[in-house]
């Protein structure tokens, strides 16, 4: 641990709470800023963190600030403005966006902050709140080699794997590709389960073939824990956030000049789910939406 680093953290949600807890437990001085949900903030203060009332105040008390919020608009509002991070951070500071953000926004913020001597890094996350609490998340990091070396000891407090993927913006690009695969699995599993149910194959029969075979993976495990056991918290990633990510994927494909018919089909499944009022449900519950649209049930 570097004795000179002071850490700020904004976004004590499903992922951020565990991440911040691990930073503090590994001995780093920590300043946090919460939002409407007071419970995680009070927990962190009880563990020894300091609470700040604005993003600027977080930056004034930190050399490295982590953001774990919903999307690019929230990141931009926290960075910019008279009470933003940029106004409070000293030259040489680092802002790390662990959100799943739009790479175009990431590159714009990096250019703005570089003019102030502040480095902007993208380090989006993979895995679930369970791993966030355990300190075993995956992160894919976009920055230069020297910045990655400085960040690595702090990243290791909450990440089991911190992968230096490339330059600024590359972390968010890789995260979108990762989520394209993940949300594609969710849509594929949902349609396959509905097809099975309509054809007389129960989810239990479906699982007896897939589990333990070549088609099984970690994502399948948490997805099917909900389908089979009705465990709502098996994979806590909301449908509305999945839709946001698939829209970012679409924009990334457009910018690259790539035809992405599969990506659009996946996005439309999530758009339907959100449009029917299921946005606050979690990703495995897409299976219920698709089954219902086809006049069947999985439970």
pLDDT, tens digit, 9 for 90 and up, residues 161-177: 999 999 999 999 999 99
14-19 mean pLDDT: 96
Q: Mind listing the pLDDT tens digit for each residue in 219-255?
A: 999 999 999 999 999 999 999 999 999 999 999 999 9
User: Is pLDDT above 80 for 35?
Assistant: no
In a domain, 2, yes or no: no
Q: How far apart are the first and last CA of the chain?
A: 49
Secondary element (H or E) of residue 94: strand 94-97
Same domain, 99 and 189: no
Q: How far is CA 9 from CA 16, 152, 161, in A?
A: 8, 16, 20
Same domain, 177 and 159: no
Final residue of a structural domain among 128, 152, 167: 167
Cα-based torsion angle of the residue sequence 31, 37, 43, 45 in order, rounded to the nearest 10 degrees? 30
How far apart (Å, rounded) are the C-alpha atoms in residues 52 and 78? 13
Q: Which of 173, 175, 244, 267 is catalytic?
A: 175
Cα-based torsion angle of the residue sequence 196, 202, 204, 205 in order, rounded to the nearest 10 degrees? -70
Same domain, 209 and 272: yes
Say if residues 189 and 225 touch (Cβ distance below 8 Å): no
In a domain, 71, yes or no: yes
Same domain, 126 and 36: yes
Final residue of a structural domain among 167, 183, 201: 167
What DSSP designation does 117 have?
Answer: T
Domain count, the chain: 2
Quick one: pLDDT band at residue 298, thresholds 50, 70, 90? very high
In a domain, 39, yes or no: yes
How far apart (Å, rounded) are the C-alpha atoms in residues 50 and 41? 9
pLDDT of amino acid 60 = 98
In a domain, 79, yes or no: yes
* pTM of the complete model: 0.91
How far apart (Å, rounded) are the C-alpha atoms in residues 89 and 98? 18
| Range name among 27-36, 56-65, 83-92, 139-148 with the lowest pLDDT average | 27-36
How far apart (Å, rounded) are the C-alpha atoms in residues 10 and 78? 9
Same domain, 163 and 93: yes
pLDDT of amino acid 1 = 56
pLDDT of amino acid 58 = 98
Beta bridge partners of 66: 9, 96
Same domain, 162 and 241: no
How far apart (Å, rounded) are the C-alpha atoms in residues 231 and 235? 9
The CATH number linked to 194 is 1.10.1040.10
pLDDT of amino acid 181 = 97
Q: Mind listing the pLDDT tens digit for each residue in 107-130?
A: 999 999 999 999 999 999 999 899
21 part of the active site: no
Which value, in Å, is the radius of gyration of the alpha carbons in the chain? Answer: 20
pLDDT of amino acid 2 = 57
Specify whether the backbone of 11 is left (phi greater than 0), alpha (psi in -120 to 50) or beta.
left
Same domain, 50 and 151: yes
171-196 mean pLDDT: 97
Same domain, 289 and 147: no
SS3 216: coil
In a domain, 74, yes or no: yes
pLDDT of amino acid 4 = 87
Same domain, 112 and 255: no
Same domain, 230 and 137: no
In a domain, 299, yes or no: no
Mean pLDDT, the chain, whole residue set: 96
Alpha helices (H) along 121-260? 129-134, 145-158, 170-198, 203-210, 218-229, 239-256
Domain that holds residue 89: 7-167
Same domain, 26 and 150: yes
The percentage of the chain sitting over the pLDDT mark of 70, rounded to a whole number, equals 99
Alpha helices (H) along 54-169? 55-60, 72-79, 85-88, 103-114, 129-134, 145-158
> Hey, what are 135's tokens?
């300190």
What DSSP designation does 43 have?
Answer: H
Same domain, 140 and 33: yes
pLDDT of amino acid 156 = 98
């Amino acid at each position: 641990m570097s004795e000179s680093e002071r850490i700020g953290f904004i976004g004590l949600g499903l992922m951020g709470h565990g991440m911040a807890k691990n930073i503090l437990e590994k001995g780093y001085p920590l300043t946090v800023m919460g939002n409407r949900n007071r419970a995680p903030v009070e927990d962190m203060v009880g563990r020894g963190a300091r609470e700040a009332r604005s993003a600027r105040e977080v930056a004034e008390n930190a050399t490295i600030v982590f953001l774990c919020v919903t999307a690019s608009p929230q990141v931009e509002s926290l960075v910019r403005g008279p009470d933003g991070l940029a106004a409070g951070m000293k030259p040489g500071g680092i802002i790390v966006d662990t959100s799943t953000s739009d790479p175009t926004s990431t590159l714009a913020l990096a250019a703005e902050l570089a003019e102030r001597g502040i480095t902007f890094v993208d380090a989006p996350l993979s895995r679930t709140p369970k791993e966030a609490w355990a300190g075993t998340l995956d992160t894919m990091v976009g920055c230069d080699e020297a910045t990655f070396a400085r960040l690595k000891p702090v990243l290791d407090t909450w990440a089991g794997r911190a992968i230096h993927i490339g330059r600024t913006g590359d972390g968010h690009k890789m995260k979108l590709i990762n989520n394209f695969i993940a949300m594609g699995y969710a849509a594929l599993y949902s349609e396959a389960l509905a097809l099975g149910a309509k054809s007389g194959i129960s989810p239990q029969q479906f699982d007896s073939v897939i589990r333990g075979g070549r088609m099984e993976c970690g994502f399948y495990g948490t997805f099917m824990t909900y389908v089979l056991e009705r465990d709502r918290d098996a994979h806590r990633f909301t449908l509305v956030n999945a839709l946001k990510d698939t829209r970012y994927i679409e924009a990334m494909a457009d910018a690259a000049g790539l035809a992405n018919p599969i990506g659009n089909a996946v996005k439309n499944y999530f758009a339907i789910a959100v449009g029917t009022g299921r946005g606050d449900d979690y990703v495995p519950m897409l299976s219920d939406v698709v089954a219902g649209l086809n006049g069947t049930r999985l439970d």
